[in-house]
Amino acid sequence: MALVACACGPEKAKEDTDAKPSRPSASTRAKEPSATPSASARSEKPSAAPTGGQPAPRSKEGAIQRYEQYLHAVGREDIHTVCEVAGPAAKQAENEGLGPCTSTFVAMFQMISPAQKKALRTATIDPQRIAVRSRDKIEMPVEAVRASVTFTENDLGSRTLEYLKNNWYITD
């Protein structure tokens, strides 16, 4: 199962978020206590819009942080974050006939076991196992993923992240 076999770009993720506001707000409402909705809503919203308008650090650490954000989003089935981070690779997959990111990943989420999803929510990356190809390109081998279950190439695959438009994106 390849986790980036989907299609939507960074620009499309914003449109998807705008077009489907009920999903993030429904999950936010489910998590927030009814007595203090304003404070809880503010603390929950960053996960629905993880990248904001601020540039990410153009560093190895910035790429690791971004990839961990992606892994955690896959574990939570957060389609908007997944499609935003995997945008360039997803667009390439769509051009090859796999369909839009939002539908492809929803189907793919069903192929991930509950134990794998739980492990991805807290997965980290071992910085010693990644390969810095250039200032703007970093390889994340599946062996770098540290989680409570072991992932293989077939489960998760290795990914390339590139620094584009002030952030790290999965491009392969």
What kind and span of H or E run contains 160? strand 159-164
pLDDT at 14 over 50: no
Does the pLDDT at position 5 exceed 90? no
pLDDT for the residue 34: 36
Strand partners of residue 162: 137, 169
Q: Is the pLDDT assigned to residue 170 strictly greater than 60?
A: yes
Where are the chain's structural domains?
A: 10-22+55-170
What is the mean predicted confidence (pLDDT) over 129-150? 96
User: What's the CA gap between 118 and 74, in Å, rounded?
Assistant: 10
CA 35, 25, 108 angle in degrees (round to 5)?
A: 135
In 3D space, the residue among 78, 67, 73, 74 whose CA is nearest the CA of residue 20 turns out to be 78
| Backbone phi, psi, residue 67, to 5° | -70, -40
Indicate the average pLDDT of the chain: 76
Average pLDDT over residues 66-90: 95
For 37-55, how does the pLDDT look when each residue is reduced to its tens digit (9 = 90+)? Answer: 333 332 332 333 344 556 7
pLDDT at 92 over 50: yes
The residue-averaged pLDDT of 14-18 equals: 39
- For the chain, state the CA radius of gyration: 16
CA distance 18 to 142: 33
pLDDT of residue 53: 56
- DSSP strand E in 17-121: where? none
- High-pLDDT (> 90) share of the chain, %: 49
Predicted confidence band of residue 98 (pLDDT cuts 50, 70, 90): confident
DSSP-based three-state secondary structure for 48: helix
